[in-house]
Amino acid sequence: MGDTPREVLSDREVAIIENGEPLNLSNEGQIDFPMPHELIESLLVVPIYYLQRPAGLILLHAHDTNHFDKGAEEITQALASQAAVVLGNAFQYEEQMRRGELLKRELETLSKLFHVSHALRPNRPLEESLSAICSAIQEATPFQTILVSIVDPETQLLHRVYGVGMSDTIWQELRSNTQPWLSVQSLLLPEYKVGTAFFIPISKNPEVPEDVHAVTVLYPDHRNENDAWDPQDMLLVPLYDSYENPLGLISLDNPKDGRHPDRATFEAVDLFSEQAGLIIENHRGIRSLEDRLGDLEAEQSRLKDAAKNAQHNLPMLLHRELEQTISIQQIYSHIERIRAGLEISELASRKTTIPEIMHTLASEMITRFDLQAALIAENTILGPRLIETLGNLPAKSNPEALFGQRNPLRQLVQEGHLILAATLENEWSNSPLLNVLGAKSFIGLPLDLGEGRFAGVLVIGHRPLPPFTEQDRTIYLHLARQVSVGLQNLKLLTETQRRLHEVNLLLEFSQGLGVLDPEKILKGLVESLLKVISEAQACWVGLWSDKEAALIPHVAMGYHDNDSLLEIAYSSSSRTGSSEGIFPLPMRVYQAGLPERVAEIHFAQDYNLPAEDLLRYRRATGGRLPVSSMLVPLRRGDNVLGLVVIDNFNTPAAFLEEDESLTLSLAQQTALGLENARLFLAVDQRASQMQALNQVATMLTSSLQSDQLIDTLLNQLKIILPYETATLWLRHGDQLVVAEAAGFQDDESRVGLTVKMEDSSLFQQMVTTGQVVSVTDVRLDQRFPAFLEPDNLSWLGIPLIAKSELIGAIALEKHEANFYTSEHNQAASTFAGQAAVSLENARLYEESLRRNDELDQRSQRLALLNHLSSELGVSLDVDYILRLTSQQMLGALNGTRVAAVLIGDQGEYILKVEVPSTSTELPQILPAIPLLERLQESQGIFSTSYVAKDADLAPLRESYFQSRRVRSLLVIPLITGTGVHGWLWLQSTESYRYSPPEIELARTICNQAAVAIQNARQFAETNRLTADLEHRVEERTAEFMREHRNTQSLLQIMTELSASLDLNQVLIRTLSILNESFPADQSTIVLAQDRETVFRAGVSLAYSAEINPRSVSLPENQIADWVIQHKKTTLSHNIESDDRWNFTKELSIGFKSFLAVPLTLGEEVLGALLLFNRNASSFMMEQVGVVEATARQISITINNNELFSLIRDQSERLGAMLRDQQIEASRSRAILEAVADGVLVTDSASIITLFNASAERILDLKAAHVLGKPLEQLAGLFGKAASTWMQTIRKWSENPSSYETDQTYAVRIDLDNGRFVEIHLAPVMWRSDFLGTVSIFRDITHEVQVDRLKSEFVGNVSHELRTPMTSIKGYVEIMLMGAAGELNPQQVHFLQIVKTNTERLSVLVNDLLDISRMETGRVTLSVQPVDLVEIYEDVAADVQRRGQEENKPIQVSIEKPADLPMVKADMDRVRQVFWHLISNGYNYTPANGFVTVRMQRIGPDVQVDVQDNGIGIQQKDQHRIFERFYRGEDPLVLATSGNGLGLAIAKTLVEMHHGRIWFSSSGVRGEGSTFSFTLPVYQVEE
Amino acid sequence: MAKILIAEDERDIRDLIAFTLRFAGHDVVAVGDGQEAVEVVASEMPDLILMDVRMPRMTGYEACQKIKADPKVSHIPVVFLSAKGQDAEIRTGLDSGATEYLLKPFAPSDLSQRVNELLAQYGK
């Protein structure tokens, strides 16, 4: 109570039940007990026990703490005992009840059983018996659904035969499903067994085989208890017979009480199932007895029937005997046919050729089988071919021609199956061949030729044959097979013979191959092939030539002109003809290396030879072309040597496979023979080459003299390698020099020619590869000069390499191209190796000799130089060095005196030292000597053995050389890094030529001296430089200090200058700083533009008081003017002595010196800065820089100041402008707001920026809802009508140039409230930029309504006019038709008048309607290309018909050019124009007049003139005739009927087409008038 | 000879049309408005219907639509014969299912010729 009990007890609650102790909890100790709800503060749990067994729990809850005291606990326990007793009583009662129930059911079961036993009788149907059992089970047990199945003893399948307690559909489903007994049996495990029944609860997860069929019947779910029946539970009772064979199964389901079966149920089920088993077994026994009886009865009746039949069947037996007789006859004829077949096959087998065999077969078939004609054919590579026809063929029939179409013979040879047709009423009835031959039946025999090829014989009968039997088929098949075997035997025989022949031939041929002459071998091949291969009509054989890179024919036979064929070379390089890139056939086969039989030669494609070769080929074949060819390569291993080509000029596919294999074996033999011959020749050649090489090598290695070796080298080479010219190059450093040449006309002059190695790519190649370089044709090689035609085409470069170094090369040339072969190359390498070694040896030998000499001399000299060098090292005195050097030189070399001449500072030549010394006082300056000048420049050495002869020495000849009797002179320069310092003159009184080693020694000595001299000089120089450097450092330090000071002041000035924008203050401060820094007594700034503004600082200028500065030019102004004018800084140390200035006494300012600097900014001079000082020479040049820098800063400040004022002025002006614009804009806005039309403005992004009050009113939208929103959103409110509007705006914003200035964009939209608004749209453009749009809305509802009323009015009026007119016109016409009785002529006349006037009225109404519609703009043109002539013809025909009716002949005609273009117009409207103008012409022209219509193209228009010769138009009327209803006063006009609307309509219509209309008339009667109008020509691209 | 139903409110014109068509040898049934025309059409089963547009009770347009909506009579060609000759009116007439729209005033001879042509076209 007060709570909902839980379904399951918690663990704590179970624990209480188990230990039996009550539990009393309160919140103070925190209740850790599972609570059913919140707010429980106290808890009391008491268990209930009954007979020592737990029976329940009492749980008490309270909302306050400590609610349950000890007393309460005890009371509750007492209550629990009471409750236990009551519960026990209740349990016992229930138990008693259940037991009573069971007993009752047992009783019922027994009585049922008794009842059932009575019901079970063997003679009753099984279903009835089972029904009794099932209902008994239903009553005896709680189970409602009972199902009985029976095992079929044969199939062992369970069939459900009876069921109760289920719906009909379920029963039907159950009955239609069977289940194998074995599967069901597998469920019946011992663990489930209770008595005879098996209870299989689903909770035990039984393994139910898939083929056990179960239907789960859904019924109300019962209590959720342990023993509750699950719909998937099974209760099965198997039924067995007395021999334990399965009989059936009872299944129970759906218990009433929803519980598992209890004991009583099982007992009842046992009893009833036993009964059921008995019944089924009995039933089965009865059934089998019944079956036996049935069988016996059937047998009996069958026997009865047989006896009855026998009486009726006698005539049938007689008939059967007749049939047997006939069949015996058939067997006879069958035997006859077999015999005929055997005879035929025997006859055929005796023939010795294939055609004869087939012919015999065919003719015998005709005669023996009484047939009329036969055809023989065979299948070839090119398809079926008719061989022979024989027998009785209709005249003029041409079986050959029809053989190509489908026929049995064709099928025969293609498929090889027997084909028989007793009549043609089958698939062959349409065969043209059979029809032509008059065939009504045929026999087609296939003949197997082997290898899948068939021939066939088709024998034809002119009458249908009796139907073929299976035996007939066998006979014909055997016949065909027999003959086929004969054919194949024959073929084998010929084949064997042919093979024998071939073998003989091959033997013969290989014997012929013994010769070593290739030409003979090839000739033998060709001859043999022509002999052996029957279809070979011509043959040629060619060999591949590496040299020419082509296939060269060597032997040809059988051609019309064999020699011409031999002239054709099949090259791999030249591909010509239309099929570019495809080689001629022989070349292709040669490259593929595989034999090829070409069934049909496509000459143009297969022989795409150059023109001259084609000519040769034609000459060779005598104009015929090969039809089929066989090409077989001559092949030796992988090496294809050449090609045999065999041609046939008549037959396609002339060559057979055996021809190919024969040719192939001959070709292989030939290749072998050729290879042998080649090898033999090669060995021979090689041997002689090796011999020569040997000799040469001996020759070369025996010589150690280079010269001798070089002389003989090329001659020796010629023994091995033939050449026209040869050149031997030897290497000297990076150059190659010609050492020997042979074969040239100018051999000698070539010797000594030099080439740099790097200049020749051929030598480069030799160096890098070390290999012989062979150029097969120098014309094809880019490394050879292309400008001259070479005499020799082959070139061979042989590198001479010793110790991996190129020491030289030999170049050979030969006249022919492709001359040098790989053998040559090899020989060349060998030779080169020998030659190089020999050359190197010789060189080494010579070298070693020379070395020995040299070493001797060297050691002496080294000693000398060592001595000199150590002596020189100790001194820095130039004179001493020179003297010492001179002495050493005299000691080392042959000479009498040495002089030292040095070059002085001024370039003079000073004689410093002479050893041995002379009386001449030294140093002595020598005169200028040209020789020395030259030597000074060239740093060279001069040597002469006869001084007197040398003109360059002339200046010294007398003064120096003669006195010292010098004859020989060697001048050696003293050279250091900076050039020539002087010379040592080694003189001799004898005539002596110094050798190179002597000169070299002298030079070394001089170099030593020069180094020493330079050292001495450098020492002196270093001293001087150090002193100089110290001085310069001092200067720089002072300068730096000055600069630093200046920079400081400049910085200060700059800080001042940028400190404020008040120019006056800033400048005066700056000037005072200037005064301090320089120092100056006063500084002044004079501005160029405004002379009165002068800034000064410092001591004031002492002008006399009388001086009026306005009338006199003050000195400062004068100076400033000068500076500004010259844009130049000026400095005056003393004004008084400076004649640029001439200041009067009174202007004397008391300053002596000044510095004046222009204030410049770019090119502009702003003014001048002047510094004054009382003392003369106060300012220095060094200060100018700083002052100028200051001046620049001042200029910038002044300029900045000006700019600042400028910007301030500008912004003030802009501010004013902005204000004006705002005023203007708000005025515009006010105007826009005030206009009566709605205005909507959008910006470039289509956002609405203005929406005036009228727009609000017209569109019934608040501006606040619209402004700032995209226009599309607004347009959406107006539906589809606004889409044009939006599209136009979008088009403009995307492409502003699409707007055309004079175009207006207007669209009408219908609002929901029934009003009409017209929107005019215009873009806002600034130049080509799209800024937005302006849309004007105008409420046109009133106009639209007026328009509608008008149109309705016109419609009503015309209707009202037409209705009475209908009556008038109708009745008049009826009367005129005579339908209302006959009329007299006068009556007819009057009625005619009524009719005519009615018609006028009708025309008037139509015209009025037209005019009205045009004026209201409701006429729209449907424009299309229009043919004016067509319209004219319509209208003219109408008018002429009228003329006939009115008896007024008028000639209506047209004049127009043939190429009159179409016009762009509305056809119906143009017809109206024609009608009005032409009928006017008719109306105002008297009878027999004319109306001529002229059409012509004029520019972009077609002009139409309508001319008549009528009354014309009088001058006074001419200006009004296009007015509506105007007809003038002319009586002639008024005499004609008309309403005066025609021309007005015509004019309006023409103008709607953008055309013009006008007229001309002289006004004279009879001259008529001409009306003209134009219409635009139709342009096709529109 | 065919049976023709005429619907025309203006008596003079109705008589005129009836006279003309009878004169041309046709059987004529004449009614005074669209409503009547719709009522009799199923019983009379005419070969052709000639109808004015502006009529009391039910206009020609409506009558034509009703006839065309009734599968029993929708095959009968309807021809308007009206004094209302504006483009929009003619279009409305043809849209309501009429075969042809003839304008008043008409020549009786033309009318009978046109009627004969239409009957020939519809196989009568």
Residues of A in contact with B23 (CB under 8 A): 1374, 1377, 1379
Q: Give the burial class of A1544: count Cβ atoms within 10 A of its Cβ; 0-12 exposed, 13-18 middle, 19 or more buried.
A: buried
pLDDT at A1091 over 70: no
pLDDT band of residue B79 (cuts 50, 70, 90) is very high
Q: Name which of A1351, A1369, A1374 is nearest B105 (Cβ-Cβ).
A: A1369
Q: Give the burial class of A946: count Cβ atoms within 10 A of its Cβ; 0-12 exposed, 13-18 middle, 19 or more buried.
A: exposed
Within an 8 Å CB–CB cutoff, is residue A1350 touching chain B? Answer: no
Q: Tell me which of B106, B112, B114, B115 to substitute to probe the interface with A (most A C-beta atoms closer than 10 Å).
A: B106
Q: Are A958 and A938 in contact (CB under 8 A)?
A: no
* DSSP H stretches of helix in A900-995: 930-938, 954-956, 963-964
pLDDT tens sequence across A517-552: 788 888 888 888 888 888 888 999 998 887 778 888
A78 φ, ψ (degrees, to nearest 5)? -60, -45
Distance of CA A568 to the CA centre of its chain: 48
Residue predicted with more confidence, A349 or A796: A796
Residue predicted with more confidence, A120 or A476: A476
CB contact under 8 A, B84 and A1359: yes
pLDDT of residue A940: 84
CB contact under 8 A, A1379 and B105: no
Q: What ipTM was predicted for this assembly?
A: 0.83
CB contact under 8 A, A1366 and B104: yes
Residues of A in contact with B86 (CB under 8 A): 1351, 1355, 1409, 1413
Closest CA to A1190 of A1269, A1083, A1311: A1083
pLDDT tens sequence across A218-274: 655 555 567 788 888 888 888 887 778 888 888 888 888 888 888 778 887 887 887
What amino acid occupies position A695? Answer: Q
Q: Tell me which of B23, B86, B113 to substitute to probe the interface with A (most A C-beta atoms closer than 10 Å).
A: B86
DSSP A1128-1169: --EEES-TTT-TT----TTT--S--EEEEEEEEETTEEEEEE
pLDDT at A1507 over 90: yes
pLDDT tens sequence across A367-406: 888 888 898 888 877 778 888 888 888 877 788 877 878 8
CB contact under 8 A, A1377 and B107: no
Q: Give the burial class of A414: count Cβ atoms within 10 A of its Cβ; 0-12 exposed, 13-18 middle, 19 or more buried.
A: middle
Within 8 A by CB and 6+ apart from A1166, the residues are A1087, A1088, A1089, A1159, A1160, A1195, A1198, A1199
Residues of A in contact with B19 (CB under 8 A): 1374, 1379
pLDDT tens sequence across A299-342: 878 877 876 776 676 667 667 777 777 777 777 777 777 778 77
pLDDT tens sequence across A901-947: 888 888 888 888 888 888 778 788 888 888 888 888 888 888 888 88
CB contact under 8 A, A1355 and B84: yes
Shortest distance between the Cα of B82 and any Cα of chain A, in A, equals 8
Residue predicted with more confidence, A1093 or A948: A948
Within an 8 Å CB–CB cutoff, is residue B114 touching chain A? Answer: no
Within an 8 Å CB–CB cutoff, is residue A1409 touching chain B? Answer: yes
pLDDT of residue B107: 85
Within an 8 Å CB–CB cutoff, is residue A81 touching chain B? Answer: no
pLDDT at A1147 over 70: no
pLDDT band of residue A578 (cuts 50, 70, 90) is very low
Least confident of A319-328, A877-886, A1510-1519: A319-328
Q: Tell me which of A1348, A1351, A1354, A1363 to substitute to probe the interface with B (most B C-beta atoms closer than 10 Å).
A: A1363
pLDDT at A414 over 90: no
Within an 8 Å CB–CB cutoff, is residue B65 touching chain A? Answer: no
Closest CA to B107 of A1395, A1379, A1373, A1404: A1373
pLDDT of residue A1103: 53
Q: Name which of B17, B85, B107 is nearest A1358 (Cβ-Cβ).
A: B85
Angle subtended by helix axes A1542-1552 and A1467-1483, to nearest 10:
150
Residue predicted with more confidence, A86 or A1578: A1578
Within an 8 Å CB–CB cutoff, is residue B25 touching chain A? Answer: no
Alpha-carbon distance of A807 to A803, in angstroms, equals: 9
Residue predicted with more confidence, A1150 or A172: A172
pLDDT band of residue A27 (cuts 50, 70, 90) is low
CB contact under 8 A, A1373 and B83: no
pLDDT band of residue A1495 (cuts 50, 70, 90) is very high
Residues of B in contact with A1374 (CB under 8 A): 16, 19-20, 23, 108
- Return mean pLDDT, chain A: 81
Within an 8 Å CB–CB cutoff, is residue A1379 touching chain B? Answer: yes
Residues of B in contact with A1361 (CB under 8 A): 83
CB contact under 8 A, B20 and A1365: no
CB contact under 8 A, A1367 and B10: yes
Which helix (H) or strand (E) element contains residue A944?
Answer: strand A942-944
Which helix (H) or strand (E) element contains residue A194?
Answer: strand A193-194
Within an 8 Å CB–CB cutoff, is residue B39 touching chain A? Answer: no
Least confident of A575-584, A1188-1197, A1561-1570: A575-584
Rounded mean pLDDT of A1272-1292?
Answer: 75
CB contact under 8 A, B86 and A1371: no
DSSP class of B5: E
Distance of CA A199 to the CA centre of its chain: 75
pLDDT at A577 over 50: no
Shortest distance between the Cα of A1376 and any Cα of chain B, in A, equals 10
Rounded mean pLDDT of A1470-1483?
Answer: 90
Shortest distance between the Cα of B33 and any Cα of chain A, in A, equals 16
Residues of A in contact with B10 (CB under 8 A): 1363, 1366-1367
> Looking at the DSSP assignment, which residues form a beta bridge with residue A1498?
A1501
Within an 8 Å CB–CB cutoff, is residue A1398 touching chain B? Answer: yes
What amino acid occupies position A498? Answer: R
pLDDT tens sequence across A263-293: 778 887 887 887 788 778 777 777 777 787 7
* DSSP H stretches of helix in A1277-1384: 1283-1294, 1341-1377
Within an 8 Å CB–CB cutoff, is residue B107 touching chain A? Answer: yes
Residue A1172, helix vs strand vs coil: strand
Rounded mean pLDDT of A784-809?
Answer: 80
Shortest distance between the Cα of B41 and any Cα of chain A, in A, equals 25
For chain B, how many residues are written?
Answer: 124
Residue A268, helix vs strand vs coil: helix
Alpha-carbon distance of A1540 to A420, in angstroms, equals: 100
CB contact under 8 A, B84 and A1369: no
CB contact under 8 A, A1362 and B106: no
Q: Tell me which of A1347, A1354, A1356, A1359 to substitute to probe the interface with B (most B C-beta atoms closer than 10 Å).
A: A1359
pLDDT of residue B66: 92
pLDDT at A791 over 90: no
pLDDT at A687 over 80: no
CB contact under 8 A, B105 and A1362: yes
CB contact under 8 A, B105 and A1371: no
Alpha-carbon distance of A1346 to A564, in angstroms, equals: 108
Shortest distance between the Cα of A1403 and any Cα of chain B, in A, equals 11
Please give the share of chain A, as a percent, with pLDDT higher than 70: 92
**In this complex, how many residue pairs, one in chain A and one in chain B, have their CB atoms less than 8 Å apart?**
68
pLDDT at B78 over 90: yes
Residues of B in contact with A1469 (CB under 8 A): none
Alpha-carbon distance of A856 to A877, in angstroms, equals: 34
Angle subtended by helix axes B34-44 and B60-69, to nearest 10:
30
Alpha-carbon distance of A1550 to A1473, in angstroms, equals: 7
CB contact under 8 A, B83 and A1398: no
Residue predicted with more confidence, A980 or A1490: A1490
Residue A1569, helix vs strand vs coil: strand
pLDDT of residue A579: 45
Q: Are A43 and A33 in contact (CB under 8 A)?
A: yes
DSSP class of A1018: H
CB contact under 8 A, A1370 and B83: no
Q: Name which of A1362, A1373, A1413 is nearest B107 (Cβ-Cβ).
A: A1373
Distance of CA B123 to the CA centre of its chain: 17
Distance of CA A205 to the CA centre of its chain: 65
Within an 8 Å CB–CB cutoff, is residue B19 touching chain A? Answer: yes
* DSSP H stretches of helix in A373-431: 399-402, 408-415
Within an 8 Å CB–CB cutoff, is residue A1347 touching chain B? Answer: no
Within an 8 Å CB–CB cutoff, is residue A1355 touching chain B? Answer: yes
